Structure 1
Amino acid sequence: MREYEAMIIAKADLPEAELSKMVSKWETIIGTDGGQVIKKESWGVRRLAYPINKQNRGNYFVYDVATNQVNVHELERVLKLEENVLRSMVIKLADQVNVEDRRLELQKQAEAAAQRAAEAAREKAESESLGARRGRDDE
């Protein structure tokens, strides 16, 4: 199996039921013949850099998947025909992928990012409290 990353931008004003139906359809296509979703991110509704089909906002989805080339072609075909999808792009990341190893790697990256964010927040809080003490010392 090959590893792919897919970014899909759907219309922002879609009802939740219709959106979940579309997402389920995409995941079914990916999962055909043993394909697997390694990681799925929903970035939510964001402002587009430029209007697409008179839409200024889009609902972003990012998938990291392990599947075969046939499933990717079918997914791309379905995304092009779907009127509620504004833009999509699928790129190949690797020719061979071990799904469990990749999931562990992504989990470690997420934990490291969370740790860095916590350290940055702690440093910011310390610098703010130090600045507040200096302000009182000046009085």
Structure 2
Amino acid sequence: MPLYEHVFIARQDLSNTQAESLIEHFSTVLSDNDGKVVMSEYWGVKTMAYKINKNRKGHYAFMRSDAPAPAVQEMERLMRLHEDVMRILTIKVDAHEEGPSVQMQKRDERPERRERR
């Protein structure tokens, strides 16, 4: 099955538990449609570069999935209809990276950048 990475932003006035329950809700949507969530992360409340629906901040969540295209389309459709979700992004990848995402790594654990000329 194809591999995907999903990021979505939820409204800032939700509690942390409500934002994490959104991850669980959309994970069950994928699993009900013959897909599976390989990993999910809650990145917390972050400041956005610009306002979306009069919100300056949002709850960020990240999921890696192994699901057929119709399951991903159904999840995206439900995300667009959900009033708490402001933005979504889904990317098809060739392989999932091992370990936590870059957002969850500490600065000491990140690989060094190469020199600029």
Q: Shared fold (TM-score greater than 0.5)?
A: yes
SS in 1 for 2:75: helix
Q: Which runs of 5+ in 1 are unaligned?
A: 121-139
Following superposition, the deviation at residue 46 of structure 1 comes to 0.3
Using the aligned pairs only, state the percent identity. Answer: 31
TM-score (norm 2): 0.77
Residue 107, structure 1, aligned to residue 74, structure 2: no
Structure ranking higher in helix proportion: 1
Shift of 1:58: 0.5
Distance in 1 separating the partners of 2:38 and 2:87: 22
Q: CA 1:35–1:56 in structure 2 vs 1: closer, same or farther (change >3 Å)?
A: same
Alignment of 1:28-39 (within 5 A): 28-39=28-39
Code of the residue aligned with 1:117 in structure 2: it is: D
CA separation in 2, counterparts of 1:66 and 1:44? 24
The residue that corresponds to 1:117 in the other structure is: 108
**Structure 1 residue runs of 4 or more that deviate by more than 4 Å after TM superposition:** none
Do the aligned residues in 1 keep the contact of 2:23 with 2:40 (CA within 8 Å)? no
Q: What's the TM-score, normalizing by structure 1?
A: 0.66
Give 1:82's aligned amino acid.
H
Measured at CA, do residues 33 and 60 of structure 1 come closer, stay the same or move farther in structure 2, by a change above 3 Å?
same
1:1-139 correspondence runs (5 A): 1-94=1-94, 102=96, 106-107=98-99, 117=108
C-alpha change, 1:108 and 1:8, in structure 2 (3 Å) is closer
What is the total number of aligned residue pairs between the two structures? 108
Q: Separation in 1 of the partners of 2:66 and 2:24?
A: 17
Measured after TM superposition, the shift of residue 43 of structure 1 is 1.1
